[in-house]
Amino acid sequence: MLPGPGGVLRMLVHTLRDGELVRAVATSLYRLFVGYAISAGAGITLGVMLARMAWLRAAVGPMVVGLQALPSICWLPLALLWFGLSEKAILFVVVMGSLLSITIATEGAVRSVPTLYIRAARTMGSRRLRLYTRVILPAALPGIVTGLKLGWTFAWRSLMAGELLYVAGGLGQLLTLGRELGDMARVMSVMVVIVVLGLGFERLLFGSVEKRVRERWGYAQAEAA
């Protein structure tokens, strides 16, 4: 029921040699990148709109917060009814799993921008798009990056949940296959790959970006002091 490290390692080597693991990782990462890109673009846009438009925040804000509490796997039945057994259903689950967290984080970051910055920028002639691109978004960037990091985590979890219930390639299919065959070494090896990929992206991608942003905005020096 609980294979040793040797059995897990042998299974990893076996799935790497026959290309099964490589194909599964490529399929899952493709879905993850596409779904996350949609979530990031839509989430940042919606978050900025909620922060800057009081009427929209009053109408949509409570719904966004409420839906965020809904587990991402709950979107799968709706996705299957709308899109059928297709890639669109998986992408929909990934988007809904990460979109709301990015939206909420972006809204909070934009609303935390000091009003003095905005007034000063308007006094110096910044209006509309220039005000957002030169003042509001740069000032809110540390909070937005944190939201993007959380959104990536939620997107990864949503993808695995969707692939487990809807077998269509990817790492989720390998987990399902291991469960059906009673092959715990296969299950544990895929779990190891999922953890390594998650840590790798968190440290190499978001870790470096977050570090640069904090250094650029002076947070690192303040913490060191």
74 found inside a domain: yes
106 found inside a domain: yes
Amino acid at position 113, single letter:
V
Q: Tens of pLDDT along 166-209?
A: 656 778 778 777 777 777 888 888 888 888 888 888 777 777 77
Q: Which tops the pLDDT comparison, 81 or 128?
A: 81
Q: Give the closest residue to 215 by CA, choosing from 104, 107, 141.
A: 141
pLDDT value at position 110? 86
Token pair of 1, please?
Answer: 């029921």
Would you tell me how many other CB atoms lie within 10 Å of the CB of residue 148? 23
Q: How many domains does the chain have?
A: 1
Q: Which domain holds residue 171?
A: 22-224
Contact 167, 173 (CB under 8 A): yes
pLDDT value at position 83? 81
Alpha carbon distances (Å) from 219 to 76, 118, 215, 216, 225: 40, 21, 6, 8, 10
Does residue 224 have a pLDDT over 60? no
pLDDT value at position 164? 76
Q: Tens of pLDDT along 149-172?
A: 888 888 888 888 777 776 567 787
14 found inside a domain: no
CATH number at residue 213: 1.10.3720.10
Q: Tens of pLDDT along 89-146?
A: 888 888 988 898 899 999 888 888 888 877 887 777 777 777 777 788 888 888 888 8
Token pair of 4, please?
Answer: 């040793």
b/e 61-93 (16+ beta carbons within 10 angstroms → b) = beebeeeeeeebbebbeebbeeeeeeeebbbbb
Q: Tens of pLDDT along 130-146?
A: 777 778 888 888 888 88
Q: Tell me which range, 22-26, 32-36, 71-75, 172-176, is most confidently predicted by mean pLDDT.
A: 32-36
10 found inside a domain: no
37: confidence class by pLDDT, cuts 50, 70, 90: very high
Does residue 77 have a pLDDT over 80? yes
12 found inside a domain: no
pLDDT value at position 222? 45
65 found inside a domain: yes
Token pair of 93, please?
Answer: 């689950």
The pTM assigned to this predicted structure is: 0.82
38: confidence class by pLDDT, cuts 50, 70, 90: very high
